[in-house]
Structure 1
Amino acid sequence: MAKLLIVESAKKAKTIKGMLGSDFTVKATSGHILEMPPDDLHVNLEDFTPTLYLIRGKGKTLEGLKEAAAKAEAVYLATDMDREGEAIAQHVAERLGRTVAGKVRRITFTAITKADIQAALANPRQIDRRLVEAQVARRVTDRLVGYMVSPVLWKGLSGIKRLSAGRVQSPALWLVVERERAIQAFIPEEWWSIEAELSKTADPAHQKFWAFLFKIKGKKPELKTEADAQKVLADLKGAAWRVERVEKGTRLRRPYPPFTTDSMQQAASSQLGFNPRLTMKLAQELYEGVELGEGKAVGLITYIRTDSLAVAPEAQEAARAVVTKYFGEAYLPAQPPVYQTRDKTAQEAHEAIRPVDPWKTPKAVEPYLTKQQHLLYRLIWRRFIASQM
């Protein structure tokens, strides 16, 4: 009797099926199966519990899951390891019914590899109610703010109903407004600075350097007008210039840590010109799997929704081997770097975003990726390898 493994996306299901073989049936929910319809609030204002309904069009999907679960030896809910994934797992477990409840297990993994999935299957757990409740709280808050505050917004803006309030967008908009008000209220003050281009000799071919005026007779100069600056320039004409001292030193800078979701989006925006939506779309494709000419799809990066900087020891060892081969031992620290996550609420069970296999270099996988996929994978690979130097 085959075992049933349920994931969120059909693409991920195909990738995992190619790894697990005939012992497993792999099916997808294609996202959430339950939701609050948009026609009303659907939240009990006494205890703030939502009323959820089967999403239109998901009936056939649910029936397929029920049929497969009834025939399966065990049912593994392998939806994503964030609060949305946990809620989907809870909803699927509820809708599968009591007859299969005894064989339902929850598993999670940070990377779509055969080893990671087999390790997860060997260590199943129960559904985490705390994560489910966190998802409910977020979703209910979204609904309350959107449905109860938006009408007030419409009334205040002459009935413009295309505008809406939101749990995140409204506070974010307030921050932008406050900042803009501060900018508009700012009274600019005129100030001047003086720089000199100097050289050891009058030879124009000789190396030049720039010097900045930072003190006059031990005090910081106050050049509030052009007249103030011109007076200093007049004093400097014909002056004797000398280098008082040269300070030499070595500065050691640690590399940047591997990516979190936020830092990946920021780097993709500044370095590649990708907007956050495109970045997450490409990252999802790299996470769920890409065919590399072996006939089976392979996940190239770890789970993409994370605020953790943790890295698995085996990934660090692989990265150190890559550094040694391509850059030399001089770039290898005595001990693997450890990065502390600043956010105290970060989920350290997650990993940072990194290549699943550091030996799959950007050049090696380039023929199998789209141009945009390759650019993002190269960004992630380089950041991770550099973080281990």
Structure 2
Amino acid sequence: MLIWERNLLVCWFGMFVTGVGMSQIAPVLPLYIDRLGIHDTALIEQFSGIAFGITFIISAVFSPIWGQAADRFGRKPMLLRASLGMAVVIFSMGFAQNVYQLIGLRLLQGVITGYSTACTTLIATQTDMEHAGWALGTLSTANVAGSLLGPVIGGYVGENLGLQNVFFLTGALMLIAFITTVCFVKEVFIRQDKKEISAKEVWNAIPNKSLITILFATSFVLTLALYSVEPIITVYVTQLSSTTNHVALIAGMAFSASGLANILAAPGLGSLSDKIGAQKVMLIALAVAGLTFIPQGFVKDPWQLMMLRFLLGLAMAGLNPSVNTLIKKITPASLTGRVFGFNISAQYLGVFGGSVLGGQVAAYWGIRYVFFITSTLLLINAVWVYFKVYKKT
């Protein structure tokens, strides 16, 4: 096995567990906050929103910082720092005595993140251009799948093994990621930029600023689209169901169906982007994803929704690999970590923005409009990509 292939395998596991660690708290959060002494429903909802969203906001701020550190000190040290730090912090959440300690630990989790940034940078810089799309496509499935399957895993563990064990199990998995990184990830790091440069200088060093802006925006819209249904999926499934049995489980399956499809399709679509061009795959994927959202607003039962979410995941699987491949192509090697850090920040903001958008649109206009507005954003993004990327790349 080649070094980059072994590194890819280890990074995939670590990024999957990181994605789970970021999102597994969602279904158990209200229950855990109630256990911590907050019993008023309105306060539980308020604290749940803060505790869930604060990690992603802080991660968006710190991802470029850790990306810069990866360029300066190497990617493997950042993997070790992030995996061990998250193992300790997530494990500690199981011992929280009040809601403020829990929120503080969620904030700290956002600060010490950076595993995904370091992994993406490591694989992008070690993989030759011939296999870059496939490698980055395979890697992209880890974070997306972990984030989308995390709520299902957290809900199952919390219901069957206890709420605290959600944190203990995830912390233990992150510790395993740390150990495997120590033992198996190999990196020969040669720092190419000896002088510290500012964010403005990083921006000035990028040869195609309009293209990188579109790629960041596409990453934001992609994750916003995936997470716009998260706040309303359980309510929507309840409306579609003829029975109240297993609503939470069916909602979790519907939400995570796109994650399963992403795992299955992303490596193949990444490989396809190596052959026909990442810009073509990105354009088609955006258009298909945008169109797939429309019928989700007209479904009559949860299984139809689940099937459409699966088809959405197949389309979305072509986006992350294409974006990462194009970023790799246009970014100077010495700035790769920082630029990928900004891209992952856009994704974290998309998670937060999608959750806010879905909840607000559903509250003011109705649940079905969440799908229609998300579809519109994706199709607008597709038109932008057609004129500014596809026709010029």
Q: Shorter-chain TM-score category? A: under 0.3
TM-score, normalised on structure 1?
0.28
TM-score normalised by length of structure 2 = 0.28
Between structures 1 and 2, the one with greater strand share: 1
* Larger relative contact order, structure 1 or 2 (CA cutoff 8 Å, min sep 6): 2
- Between structure 1 and structure 2, the one with the greater Rg is 1
